[in-house]
Amino acid sequence: MRLGISIVGDIARIMEAETRAGERAVSAAMREAGTSLKAAWRAQITGAGLGSRLARTIRSAQYPKGRPSLNAAALVWSKAPVIVGAHDTGPLIRSKAGFWLAIPVPEAGKSIRGGRISPGEWERRTGMRLRFVYRRTGPSLLVADNVRVSKSGRVRENITRHKDGRVSSRLQGQATAVMFLLVPQVKLPKRLDLARDARAVGNALPRMIVANWEETQ
């Protein structure tokens, strides 16, 4: 028995059409994969209770831009890589000076730059000095003496400044307030698993390419 093979049409044009279809399919699949991974990472971040602001730092882009390619690629990243990476890995955090990490309590307020306030900034802003209290068990403390804590939780120096320049102490309501907890190190809990979503999208990529491959005539 003999078998015969014949090609209908121009083989060069057929291959060219298939190449263009492949370029479109790969590019569309990579765009879909990037968008899907970005959405998955954002959902992880908000689901972990880290807030929508941090979630919006996740961005995606496709390369090359403006044209299809068999070598198309998608990039997904965060504009806050240090913060997101820390929650993804759960690192052990130590003080840069190698001694204490100062963790402010809510009454200490926030930094003018946003985020946690440092003991130095707290002293500059309030004009008060912090006192170190060593504890054998549990975290040591930085406390503010002779202060008043308002109902809103704001700490004020417990003194009265007179017009003639005299300063007197108010005994009523006088207290020592804890402003910072001091610990040698902190283990940040791992709250994200970004690699899990990346693997899932990577495993689905061949199916995405096939689904976006249009048949040529």
* Neighbour count for residue 179 (Cβ, 10 Å): 25
Per the CB < 8 A criterion, the answer to whether 69 and 29 are in contact is no
For the whole model, what pTM was predicted?
Answer: 0.64
Interatomic CA distance for residues 46 and 215, integer angstroms: 40
Radius of gyration of the chain (CA): 30
Report the length, in residues, of the chain: 217
Collapsing DSSP states into helix, strand and coil, what is residue 125? helix
pLDDT in tens, the chain (217 residues): 676 666 666 777 878 888 899 999 999 999 999 999 999 999 999 999 999 999 999 999 999 998 999 999 999 999 999 999 999 998 887 766 667 888 899 888 888 877 788 899 989 988 889 999 998 888 899 999 888 766 665 666 555 555 665 545 554 556 788 999 998 888 888 999 999 999 999 999 999 999 999 876 5
